[in-house]
């Protein structure tokens, strides 16, 4: 704040000097006006020639001044001196006189004998009806008194500034230091925190001006805490889930080392290979779950896309695997189903749904994928003819590492957890329900996994998923 203050100060001095000169000139200009007016009243015309009826004593009184010199003269229309100082500067004749109104006092600045003069002058006619000859009256005064008064005015304004401005600087410094003290305290509180402390900063002692900044900082801390918690969960989940397959691999390897029979050794090696496949899939699912959580915390960018061609493309990649398991994998085409989503995450979600359906559908079974629009929502369904699921398990299968009763030991319990995480990122609802007969409403073999998305309109709106969408549509 000191830099602009030092910049404005000289400008203030210049303005003060200008206005001081204007103020100082005003009363002395009035005095010169009165002198010119008084002289004009004493002028008479004798046969058209101007005469000044002012005695010498009065003229001497006109010139009396303790500080400045006063000069005057009277000129006729031809520019000839009638009375007064002959060397007193005059306006350019006759043009200057032609442009002046008679009887009006005018002012100009001039020089006389090396001195600056302030000159008041007036043009008179011989009579009210006459236009000639004209008379020029001039009274000039040096500007010493004006300069002295202007200097006093300037000094009265400038000198206090030498006290006021340093005092203002001190007060500004004091005010800023006091005003920034809460910010300094907040900085010290942040610096004094432990590295692992991501708890929000209390707003009880934060000034109103710093509250938005503190709230924004707390928001950053909350996002960092979510990321740290996700990493901790990932490490804990990975450590817990990898312990079992690694232990199994170690046991199979120890058994293989004892075997002498080539057939048994081959069987042990095939068991090790299957264990490696399960461990690899578990790692892939843990990483997919971590990516889904990270995308949700980072507010992953969602773009407009059509769900129908995306589902068809993914189903085509599972046809070979379905044929190997003798499962009829079908796809029901539909029209355009526009949503707002992330194609990479949606691929991960659909792959997990198809893998789950093919895993729990026996040979000669059926798996059907479809997507369609219903009202303000887009529905994606994966229907299978597997062993089905109970109502109690359908509420728990989306939890991490939960496996329904009667399921085989190949799953890790993470596939549907990944599906739920990705659905929440898209503000969608995920459900897994047993199939029911359309006529009787009784449960039949198989399940329907359903994801309900908000349908994208011309003007997208964030529509809440109604309760009916979470349990099924008619």
State whether CATH 1.10.3470 applies to domain 2-150: no
Asked if residue 140 lies in contact with residue 72, where contact means CB atoms within 8 angstroms, the answer is yes
What's residue 99's pLDDT?
Answer: 52
- pLDDT tens digit string along 248-290? 777 778 777 877 778 777 777 887 777 777 677 667 766 766 6
CATH T-level assignment (fold) for domain 207-299: Helix Hairpins (1.10.287)
| Domain residue limits, the chain | 2-150, 207-299, 301-471
CA–CA distance, 455 with 306 (Å, rounded to integer): 10
- pLDDT tens digit string along 81-93? 888 888 788 765 4
Asked if residue 230 lies in contact with residue 290, where contact means CB atoms within 8 angstroms, the answer is yes
CA–CA distance, 369 with 325 (Å, rounded to integer): 17
What's residue 302's pLDDT?
Answer: 80
What's residue 72's pLDDT?
Answer: 83
CA–CA distance, 451 with 472 (Å, rounded to integer): 10
Which CATH architecture is the domain 301-471 placed in?
2-Layer Sandwich (3.30)
What does pTM read for this prediction? 0.45
What's residue 460's pLDDT?
Answer: 44
- pLDDT tens digit string along 286-314? 676 666 666 555 555 788 899 999 999 99
Enumerate residues 6+ apart whose C-beta is below 8 A from 459.
Answer: none
Report the Cα 328 to chain-centroid distance in Å: 55
Asked if residue 435 lies in contact with residue 383, where contact means CB atoms within 8 angstroms, the answer is yes
What's residue 382's pLDDT?
Answer: 92
CA–CA distance, 393 with 403 (Å, rounded to integer): 9
């Amino acid at each position: 704040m000191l830099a602009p203050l030092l910049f404005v100060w000289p400008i203030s001095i210049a303005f003060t000097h200008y206005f001081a000169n204007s103020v100082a000139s005003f009363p002395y200009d009035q005095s010169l006006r009165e002198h010119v007016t008084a002289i004009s009243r004493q002028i008479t015309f004798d046969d058209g020639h101007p005469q000044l009826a002012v005695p010498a004593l009065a003229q001497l009184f006109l010139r009396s001044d303790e500080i400045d010199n006063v000069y005057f003269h009277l000129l006729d229309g031809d520019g000839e001196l009638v009375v007064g100082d002959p060397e007193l500067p005059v306006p350019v004749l006759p043009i200057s006189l032609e442009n002046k109104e008679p009887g009006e006092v005018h002012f100009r600045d001039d020089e006389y004998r090396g001195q600056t003069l302030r000159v008041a002058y007036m043009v008179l006619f011989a009579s009210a009806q006459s236009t000639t000859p004209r008379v020029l009256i001039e009274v000039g005064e040096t500007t010493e008194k004006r300069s002295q008064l202007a200097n006093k005015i300037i000094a009265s304004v400038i000198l206090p500034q030498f006290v006021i401005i340093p005092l203002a600087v001190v007060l500004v410094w004091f005010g800023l230091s006091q005003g920034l003290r809460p910010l300094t305290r907040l900085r010290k509180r942040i610096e004094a925190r432990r590295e692992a402390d991501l708890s929000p900063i209390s707003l009880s002692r934060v000034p109103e001006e710093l509250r938005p900044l503190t709230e924004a900082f707390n928001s950053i801390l909350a996002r960092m805490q979510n990321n740290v918690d996700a990493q901790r969960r990932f490490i804990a989940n990975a450590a817990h889930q990898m312990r079992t397959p690694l232990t199994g691999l170690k046991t199979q390897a120890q058994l293989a080392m004892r075997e002498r029979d080539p057939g048994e050794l081959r069987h042990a090696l095939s068991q090790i290979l299957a264990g490696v496949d399960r461990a690899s899939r578990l790692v892939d699912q843990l990483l997919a779950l971590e990516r889904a959580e990270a995308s949700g915390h980072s507010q992953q960018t969602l773009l407009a896309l059509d769900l129908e061609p995306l589902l068809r493309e993914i189903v085509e990649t599972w046809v070979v695997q379905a044929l190997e398991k003798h499962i009829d994998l079908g796809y029901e085409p539909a029209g355009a189903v526009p949503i707002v989503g992330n194609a990479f995450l949606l691929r991960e979600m659909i792959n997990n749904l198809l893998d789950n359906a093919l895993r729990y559908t026996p040979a000669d079974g059926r798996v059907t994928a479809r997507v369609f629009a219903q009202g303000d929502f887009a529905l994606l369904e994966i229907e299978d003819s597997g062993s089905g699921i109970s109502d109690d398990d359908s509420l728990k299968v989306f939890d991490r590492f939960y496996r329904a009763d009667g399921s085989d030991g190949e799953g890790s319990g993470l596939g549907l957890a990944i599906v739920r995480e990705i659905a929440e990122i898209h503000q969608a609802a995920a459900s897994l329900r047993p199939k029911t007969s359309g006529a009787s409403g009784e449960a039949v073999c198989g399940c329907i996994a359903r994801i309900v998305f908000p349908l994208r309109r011309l003007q997208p709106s964030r529509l809440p998923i109604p309760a009916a969408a979470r349990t099924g549509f008619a």
